[in-house]
A and B are shown apart, each in its own frame.
Chain A
Amino acid sequence: MSINLTLLIVMGVLYACGIYLILERSLTRVLLGLMLLANATNILILSTGGYAGLAPLFSKETNPETYNDPLPQALILTSIVISFAVTAFMLGIIYRTWVLARQDEIQDDLEDVRVAKTPSFDAEDDAIVPLETSEFAVTPASPADREKPDATETPNTATTQEGGSA
């Protein structure tokens, strides 16, 4: 199978630019990056079809080996249609972000930020329960004693931190 070097280089450049662009925070650039990635992949599929041959239209005299492989072209056609639909949808989303927030940036998840900032101490989960929980306590604890452990409590219990945003 012969490989077209120009196609390969173009593909590499498209991939590089695409990956650079999807790492940006601006949505329009992310969209451009996704489009470049999709097109680079189309070129990759095209290059798996091998050398450029005749159009795969049947005529009796032609040697089958001179035809181009039609399957990759069918795949590319499908993937172009799909990426077209996704691009249109993304444009819709970008427009909507602009209408809603007058900005084109990817925003942080507020709940995510809130959970990450939550101290590991939780008043209800980590409260110190008095050892003697019987209603018929032998020595009824004075209110002062009961306050003590709460006052000395420091939020140092190492429990779980937000795992998903890491």
Chain B
Amino acid sequence: MRVPRRLTLVCAALAMLLLLAACGNDPEASGDGDATEPSGETTDTTTTEEPTSAGATESSDSIIPLDQVCEEEYADVEAPDDFSVRLVTDIGSVDDGTFNQYANEGMQAAADCFGIDTDYIETANEADYENNLNTALEDDPNVVVTVGFLLADATKEFAGDNPDVNFIGVDQFQEDYGDNYAGVLFREDQGGFLAGAMAGLLTESGTVGVVGGREDVPPVVRLVNGYEMGAKHIAEENGEDVNVLKTYNESFTDKAKGRSDAEQMLGEGADVIFGAGGQTGSGGVQAAVESGAWGIGVDQDEYFTTFQGGEAQGVDKLATSAVKRVDLGVFENIAATIQDRFEPGIFTLDAANEGITYAPFHDADIPEDVASKLEEIRQGLADESIDTGLDPVTGLPK
């Protein structure tokens, strides 16, 4: 009796481990796969800082680091003594290489610039959004930052209940924001346009591809259609034709699907792939660069995230990334609150206010004329002499 029972227990333990491992592979259960994460906590501050500082040393004109913004625009601004900011992430962590990390970098930059007290809560589960907002508010902060579209409902509710606190919601669109809530939104169509222009400038085959995320998420549609318009803009100028291959995907976290999409496009002759769908898109970019085609990243400078600061294979073919300056949006709204000029409603980041731009080329060998043409297009978007031809909300052709 004793031995068999013990055996069955060990078997049960093993089975449980297998089961949990299986659950961890479920792309939906992204929150529970990080059981080993806390060991990374010691290096947390260094890893979070790295992209900003490295970005600062290597920066081209395109990405203005926040410490420079601080020096240039807020040199004599001082925050009240007890001013504090709390940030609640979407599912993920502040070093996960997504907008969670980027928003936190914006808050940290504000902490360095204004000497304010900041802290964050990482959300592990959708059921915890309200709980985490509650916990964040227990500290009586002046500003609460919530990251991501999925927190829009909870943020709106808490903004209504806490009129003395300013809420900054990244990627959160509302019909009506109230007096203490700003939604940070982006002109992704311009970002996609920049990526498309880059693709149009680099392609030799005349075929370029984009691996998109979910079609029912408007920013993705804006990126994908913007990409097509950008590539066509260059082709028209040169009197050529360009073939743009597009796919959408059900998931933002399915690297394998992104890879297979990209491989399909490469097989059809594409020689530039833009990844416009979180990790799914990054998978496409990786597949492209590993087989010698060009890749273009999105949201953050993927040189530091997907390509681990240049460690990953094929990084010399990562042409650039279409960057959404989430950090700038968070920073500017915190600064506005400190200076008592906070404006509720939609805070749009676009090429004009440096919120939409392209990342430095890093290890990629980009010809001088391509670089100057891309910068010309960015400035054209910024001064509105170039139009993406898309509706800035739906991302569909006007």
Q: Do A and B come from one complex?
A: no
